[in-house]
Chain A
Amino acid sequence: MGKKIKTFISITIVIILTIVFHFAGWLSPVENFLHSLVKPGSELMYSVSISIDDEETELFSDSERLIQAYKDLKTELLKNKTDLAELQLLQDENKELKKQLNFIEVNEYSSVGVNVIGKNTEPTGSTLIVDRGEKDKIKIGDIVITREGVLIGKITSVDNYFSIVRLINDSQSKVAATITNQEKSIGLIEGGYGISVHMNFIPQNEIVEVGDTVVTSGLEEGIPRGLLIGKIEAIEKEAYQPFQKAVINPFVNLEKITLASIIINKNNSN
């Protein structure tokens, strides 16, 4: 029994020393070396896992359904073109008004393109591993978007050559958001509900509809306003509750991200 206790204590001491050396940064060369060994394989397996089980392919049982789907897409395309034209007009008008008010740009942002080389293997989180780190001026808290400008998460951990991104559907993720309805309702996007996310703390008296778009509100430091998040799929409203909730379907499939951009706030990086 005495030998077992000695073994247990010695192993515990080794583990504690390893943890201390990690936080002191002395194990960085070893960790970077191990990463470089496994990175090619991890990247390959991750890209294979993305290509397998392509859920984007839709099958049609008859030609009528195919024709109807085609018609629906044409209608949606026309509506999007109209919205785009209106958006362009609004952007021009906004620029003009800002000039007139001598509006000063407080924040300057730049971005770094990254490749996703892996994802977490632990069930406690929904995270991705990207191939940029401290050497590229990335910091904890920087936000991550897809190339189309959809918010997917925030940087939660940074090493020299890689970083870990906490996705918006992670149970610890919280993002201040606003709905593009008439009242511009604000709320908090929280993960931990599988592939969808929930928007909580939406005032009960404000009108929210299925199909409304949700974007970042800009109320959080380091997150610009207007980044797309998702669309409202369902609303949960209970009488006598001060707030209502909405179930949001993110615009991107968070399981199939291969490329992303990290937004770096130049003011913070300086």
Chain B
Amino acid sequence: MEFLGKILLIFFSLIFLIALSLGASYLLPHPFSNINIIFLILIITMMARDSGLVVWISFFIHFFLELYSSTPFGLILFSGTISILVIFWLYKNIFTNRSWYSAMSLSVLALLSYRLIYVLVFTLLQLLGLTNLILKKTTFITFGWEILFTCLITGLIYFILSRFFRSFKASPIEHGLFKV
């Protein structure tokens, strides 16, 4: 029963997160509407929980976002899930502490890898003739705004959370590469 309750809580949290992401995109003015709320929440959750479940959460959220996208199905799903997986490995094996600047660094790397995988898969789909979409210069400018604002807000939110919650306090993680 407790397990079922947990599953339902996670499910409705995902729905709320998707609604929050859509809301931010609709309500915030440009260029703030480019903040990637999904990655912001995923990175903060990753640093708070230290759990690989965040990769599957990313899978379900990006699956849903595919339904609101005009890009070929699977592009956002693959890019989003794999980039979170890569960042999770980086977090567990390279980054050595929990702090607001690691949160910012992780968000920059996460979004850079997301958009890099996105562009690579996009290019592959174009070469295979599976899409007529073109990436224009303005698209890359929007990616830049997305990375900038998301990393700033992630750092700020993590800084605030670390003042109130123990799980966000600056500390070395257990599996860091360089231990003191």
Task: Give the B-binding residues of A (Cβ under 8 A).
Answer: 4, 7-8, 11-12, 14-15, 18-19, 22-23, 31, 34-35, 37-38, 41-42, 45-46, 48-49, 52-53, 118-125, 127, 129, 156-157, 159, 164, 166, 170-172, 192, 194
Contacts and interface: CB of A to CB of B under 8 A. Distances in A.
A52 B143 CA distance: 25
A203 B60 CA distance: 51
Contacts of A121: 21-22, 25, 65, 68-69
**Residue of B25, B77, B132 contacting most chain A CB atoms (<10 Å):** B25
Interface in B128-163: 132-136, 138-139, 142-143, 146
18 contacts: A8-B82, A15-B74, A15-B82, A18-B74, A22-B66, A31-B67, A38-B64, A42-B19, A49-B27, A118-B22, A118-B26, A118-B68, A121-B22, A121-B65, A121-B68, A121-B69, A166-B70, A172-B133
Given A4-B89, A15-B78, A53-B29, A123 B70 contact: no
Contacts of B89: 4
B68 A129 contact: yes
A19 B70 contact: no
B97 interface: no
B171 interface: no
Contacts, number: 106
Interface residues of B, number: 41
B55 interface: yes
Interface in B1-35: 15, 18-19, 21-23, 25-27, 29, 34
Interface string B85-100: 1000100000000000
A38 B138 contact: no
Contacts of B45: none
A7 B68 contact: no
Interface string B55-82: 1000100011111111101101110011
A42 to B, nearest CB: 5
A15 B71 contact: no
B135 to A, nearest CB: 7
A156 B73 CA distance: 13
A122 B77 CA distance: 13
Nearest to B37: A121
Contacts of B69: 120-122, 125
A122 B70 contact: yes
Contact of B22 (A4, A18, A45): A45
4 closest A-B pairs by CB: A123-B142, A49-B26, A19-B74, A121-B25
Contact of B133 (A45, A53, A119, A124): A124
A11 B77 CA distance: 11
B77 to A, nearest CB: 6
B63 A18 contact: yes
A37 B136 contact: no
B85 A11 contact: yes
A165 B70 CA distance: 9
Nearest to A52: B27
A125 B65 CA distance: 14
Contacts of B81: 11, 15
A31 B29 CA distance: 29
A231 B138 CA distance: 24
B59 A14 contact: yes
Given A45-B23, A45-B27, A19 B65 contact: no
Contacts of A4: 89
Contact of A38 (B22, B85, B135): B22
A120 B68 contact: yes
